[in-house]
Structure 1
């Protein structure tokens, strides 16, 4: 993906949207000191360019009864390329997996997984993740405390 040039007004608009995703166009226009029409045009342009990927509500997992968060390292079998499409498809379908990254080093993928409790996490690992074709091993680290959770991009740096 190519880097998109944005000016200081676009940067300010994005900073505000990252922290206040439900802000109205009028409030956003006032904050960046543009007319509502100009603000809406800039906002839509950033969406069309793919700079703004999506809007979502960030839910409090504990309040909803999801008490286990784990980071799971997945190692694939040698020559796993034949199973790659199946792995990607399964990862996309599994609601427990919040994030998945292909990484360098001794492991192939890093997952962030959320489940109701440790028993559910164990069942997910043994009955689901380890049964995906091509997966040869997993290592999990259970999260003890969340110190920071953000998807904000450091635009000001």
Structure 2
């Protein structure tokens, strides 16, 4: 629960989500604070875990990653060993950019980016389906991203 956040902290978080490269001076100008006050607030928000990382958002198409897909995985059996082994696989494959455990029919949801459909097919046929922990794989190819990953509501 975000109990330690005042309206200035929330505004600072919104601004940083929109552009993590903003300098302390730029943030100070927008928040009507001094750069040192903004710096202290940012440091506190980082130390308290509200801000967990900074990264650049890359354009997958410019990188030649023309296929984005979501893959639902149903596990063969639900053992700790199977889960650990499958999670190790998801971390080792760079084309798997996100993995979530789910409730409902599927156990995992994977977000993947590949250079083409053949590469997606190889991932499914040669990597995921043969894995002993996997019972079923259902992939859905993204036709169009209508809303990119948006900032969290702060």
**Structure 1 length-normalised TM:** 0.93
Could you tell me how far 1:80 is from its partner in structure 2? 3.3
| 1:5-44 map, 5 Å | 5-44=4-43
Report the Cα distance in structure 2 between the residues aligned to 1:46 and 1:7, rounded to whole angstroms: 11
Report the Cα distance in structure 2 between the residues aligned to 1:4 and 1:131, rounded to whole angstroms: 46
User: Which residue is 1:145 aligned to?
Assistant: 144
In structure 2, stretches of 5+ residues that fail to align are none
Could you tell me how far 1:103 is from its partner in structure 2? 0.6
In structure 1, stretches of 5+ residues that fail to align are none
**Structure 2 length-normalised TM:** 0.94
Describe the superposition over 1:107-136 as per-residue Cα deviations: whole angstroms up to 9, x where unpaired: 101111100000000001111122333111
The size of the alignment, in residue pairs, is: 154
User: Which residue is 1:85 aligned to?
Assistant: 84
| 1:1-157 map, 5 Å | 3-155=2-154
Report the Cα distance in structure 2 between the residues aligned to 1:56 and 1:129, rounded to whole angstroms: 28
Report the Cα distance in structure 2 between the residues aligned to 1:81 and 1:13, rounded to whole angstroms: 41
SS at match of 2:69: strand
